[in-house]
Amino acid sequence: MPSEYARARKVEAVRPFFDLIASLEASPRFTLAALASNGGPGRYQEVYVHAKIMLVDDVWATIGSTNTADRSFLGDTEMNASVWHGDFASTLRRSLFREHLGTEPAEGDVPSFEQFHARARKNAWRKLAGQALPYLAYRLDPGLYGLGKP
């Protein structure tokens, strides 16, 4: 059964949204990533997480289920908690990166995201080759986003 994203890609009015996502690949600091748990050599289980997290400059964080669509603000019961506190934001980043990358994150937010970018790309190749995933995060191809392909 096709996903909602796969169906949406066929709607002409929505095409610019997917074109925009695909164009982000040109940015050297952009990474579209997903999470998978390791199920042994060459086996993994996709991890679905409804929550969203945004970290900005190691000083501000927001965590919750709210999407940027009107439905999250008008009809659904979605909520986020936002925190403007440097120690909290940087501790959260380090904790998440430690969990998703399986290693101690680099010092500072920019080097940590560069490390995430490199490891997620490496893990994408491991996933395609049927190798075990040594950490949770792997890169998705923005041009194929929503088609159920890596």
In a domain, 150, yes or no: no
In a domain, 107, yes or no: yes
The residue range of the domain holding 88 is 4-144
The H or E element that residue 35 is part of is strand 33-38
- pTM of the full predicted structure? 0.76
The yes-or-no verdict on residue 2 having pLDDT over 70 is no
In a domain, 44, yes or no: yes
In a domain, 124, yes or no: yes
Torsion sign (Cα): 9, 13, 17, 23: positive
The yes-or-no verdict on residue 75 having pLDDT over 70 is yes
In a domain, 103, yes or no: yes
Tens of pLDDT, residue by residue over 24-37, are 889 888 888 888 87
In a domain, 149, yes or no: no
Cβ pair 18, 9 in contact under 8 A = yes
In a domain, 55, yes or no: yes
Cβ pair 82, 60 in contact under 8 A = yes
Count the domains in the chain.
1
Mean pLDDT of all residues belonging to the chain: 84
Tens of pLDDT, residue by residue over 97-114, are 888 888 888 888 888 889
In a domain, 50, yes or no: yes
